[in-house]
Amino acid sequence: GITIARFISQRSIAPPEAALTELLNRIDQVFLPLSFLSVIVAILIWERPIRHWLTRLYCGVVTHRDLEQNARRRLLNEPFFLIAADVIIWLIAAVVYTGIIAQTTTSHVLLGRTFFQTIIIGVITATTAFFVLEHMLQKNLAPLFFPEGGLYRIPKTLRIRIRTRMAALIAAVNLIPFLVFFLMVHGSYYVEGSPEQALALLRNSVYTNALFFIGLGVGLTALVASNLTRPLNETIKVLRRIRSGRLDGKVLVTTNDEIGYAGDVINEMTEGLRERLQLRQSLELAREVQQNLLPKSPPPSEHVDIAGRSIYCDQTGGDYFDFFRVGDPADGKVALLVGDVSGHGISSALLMATARAFLRLRSFLPGSIAEIVGDVNRQLVADVEDSGQFMTLFYLVIDPVKGDLRWVRAGHDPAILYDVQRDAFE
């Protein structure tokens, strides 16, 4: 910025005289070292929590959560801090140089040009420096300090939105050049000498500023485009992987603006999709296991024809049916069970599997079906009474030798018996 200011002042409509140039050089010998030294000291103070956190991290010392948050907050806010320091230095320079020149001249044109030229170049260099710092933060620092992203979640951080970037770019390459050319034309009115000399000075000044602002516009546009397209390309790459069904990708979040927030949301969405896919696979496995708990074929019997099937509306559920031989195999007794657990899903399927195990185990022990159902009921109540879940059951035993049916209806819908001879249901 200092080099540009000197070059433009020498190529301006009214270049400074030799005595004024000598005075400015003497001011530079004092002001410039103080300016740079003050900024360096400010940076060292600002970055102290960052250095402290990195030192502890390098030495393998467990760091406190607050120290880590403070270090990351300082890192994200450092571009704003440096730009603020830069602008303050330029404002001080504008006041100091204009004030000292005012002691040697009464030319309002020279004083105004010195003040506004310093302010304008300060704004331009600060804007350029901000985009350079942002570029360095995205490319080099953010991947190391925020490997998991989440820049947007760091509290008390300043954020520059995309529209603010566009406004700064437009101001740097459009509004400020317009103001500079306006001041040049205005200053040409006060140039001493012939019109030909004033026109030549104006031509040189226009060429110099035009080339400078064209280069500035190209450079800033490339910087802003790079700062925006890098995270966008990273996001698009991950979205393409998601579209093809690959959920192992992750957006590398390096900004704490809208694009960075979108990257964090995409990462959370991808994680949620992975969890849903795993859950779906688990449910499919649970459905397969539960279907295997249901009887695949009825027990062989000369007297009873049995068929059954259960189709769940979800992957798993609480519907249950079963049939198996009970008692002495010579008697040919067959037990048929139909049950329904309240609700749907995994919890109902677990209760159904538990009840099936209890019923099958208890059915092969001595006792009537009333005692069997009563014993199983007591066991289930001890497990699920606090959950509010329950199960209804119809338990039927067919004795083909005696030709009778015995059943227990534990809250379930009643069975229907069809009498072929009477052609009636009961």
Tell whether the model's pLDDT for residue 253 goes beyond 60.
yes
pLDDT at 131: 84
Tell whether the model's pLDDT for residue 229 goes beyond 90.
no
Q: DSSP E strands: which ranges in 32-137? A: none
E strand or H helix that includes residue 321:
strand 319-325
pLDDT at 10: 64
In three-state secondary structure terms, 61 is coil
Tell whether the model's pLDDT for residue 420 goes beyond 70.
yes
Is residue 135 a contact partner of residue 225, using CB atoms and an 8 Å limit?
no
Model confidence at 48, pLDDT cuts 50, 70, 90, reads: very high
pLDDT at 425: 95
User: What is the edge-to-edge ordering of all strands in the sheet holding 334-341?
Assistant: 319-325, 334-341, 391-399, 404-410
Tell whether the model's pLDDT for residue 190 goes beyond 60.
no
Tell me the pLDDT tens digit for each residue of 344-364. 777 788 888 888 889 989 998
Q: Burial-class residue 116 by CB neighbours within 10 Å (0-12, 13-18, 19+).
A: middle
173's tokens? 């390459």
Tell whether the model's pLDDT for residue 198 goes beyond 80.
no
pLDDT at 353: 86
Closest Cα to residue 425, out of 415, 403, 416? 416
Is residue 157 a contact partner of residue 76, using CB atoms and an 8 Å limit?
yes
Tell me the pLDDT tens digit for each residue of 132-182. 888 888 888 888 888 888 887 888 888 777 887 788 788 777 877 777 777
In this prediction the pTM is: 0.61
CA angle, residues 237, 238, 239, in degrees to nearest 5: 90
E strand or H helix that includes residue 408:
strand 404-410
Distance (Å, whole) CA 125 – CA 86: 9
Tell me which DSSP letter residue 415 carries. Answer: P
Q: DSSP E strands: which ranges in 175-282? A: none
Q: How many other C-beta atoms lie within 10 A of the C-beta of residue 131?
A: 23
Q: What is the DSSP secondary-structure string of 340-365? A: EESS-SHHHHHHHHHHHHHHHHHHTS
Is residue 235 a contact partner of residue 251, using CB atoms and an 8 Å limit?
yes
160's tokens? 């520059």
Tell me the pLDDT tens digit for each residue of 91-109. 998 898 888 888 877 667 6
Model confidence at 68, pLDDT cuts 50, 70, 90, reads: confident
- Mean pLDDT estimate for the chain: 82
pLDDT at 281: 77
Phi, psi of 336 (to 5 degrees): -120, 130
